[in-house]
A = this chain, B = another copy of it.
Amino acid sequence: MSAVTSPLAWAHVQPAAARRLLTGAIDAFAERGFQATTTRDIASRAGMSPAALYVHYPSKERLLFEISLYGHRAALEILTEANEGGSPSDRLRAMVSAFTAWHAEHHTIARVVQYELAALSPEHFAEVATIRRAISAVVEKTLTDGVTDGTFTVEDLPGTTIAVLSLAVDVARWYDPTRHATPQALGTLYADLALRMVQA
């Protein structure tokens, strides 16, 4: 099972009822947004009464935090694994390909991760922001390596880092599996575009 195509492992969420609530919440948050989703909606997606939610989670916000935290960790892991070994070009290609494919494959989770940050409590947001900085740092490091060894020409390093990540992240906004290419094909296309953006 490749890192690119692996489904997010929610097996660690126990018991099964808690997992059903979590996956129901992902679908609901991605569809309507956090604020427009009711606890009654989440509970009914899990086949339960509204009160059952509070047996497993102390609040609706906590549910969002669990999703956001695991989503961010998965995204960082995907990037870090793709960044192991090879030339800067190889690593950038692997990272953009995997990161893009992940945002397409898991566009529901990715939407929650990228667009519901403002609904997190300040403490929970701070925890997630740490992971986000690490994600930027991984990409910026690879670009720096490429500039150093002469394979990349980058005029504005932080700006180009944001652009490369931004390209992949925005996939979550528009991607529809019934209308667009496979996540892998999109990853390949985007990796090519990103390489063109920085090649010397």
Contacts of A43-85 to chain B: CB distance below 8 A: none
What number of copies of this chain does the assembly contain? 2
The A interface, classified by DSSP as helix, strand, loop or mixed, is helix
User: Within the complex, which residue of B35, B156, B190 is in contact with A35, where a contact is CB–CB below 8 Å?
Assistant: B35
Contact indicator B33/A192 (Cβ below 8 Å) = no
Taking the complex as formed, is A186 at the interface, i.e. its CB lies under 8 A from any CB of chain B? yes
Interface string of A6-45 (1 = CB under 8 A from B): 0000000000000000000000000111011000000000
User: Within the complex, which residue of B36, B159, B171, B181 is in contact with A186, where a contact is CB–CB below 8 Å?
Assistant: B159
CA distance A186 to B36 in the complex (A): 34
5 contacts between A and B (CB under 8 A): A159-B186, A166-B166, A166-B174, A169-B173, A193-B197
Contact indicator B115/A115 (Cβ below 8 Å) = yes
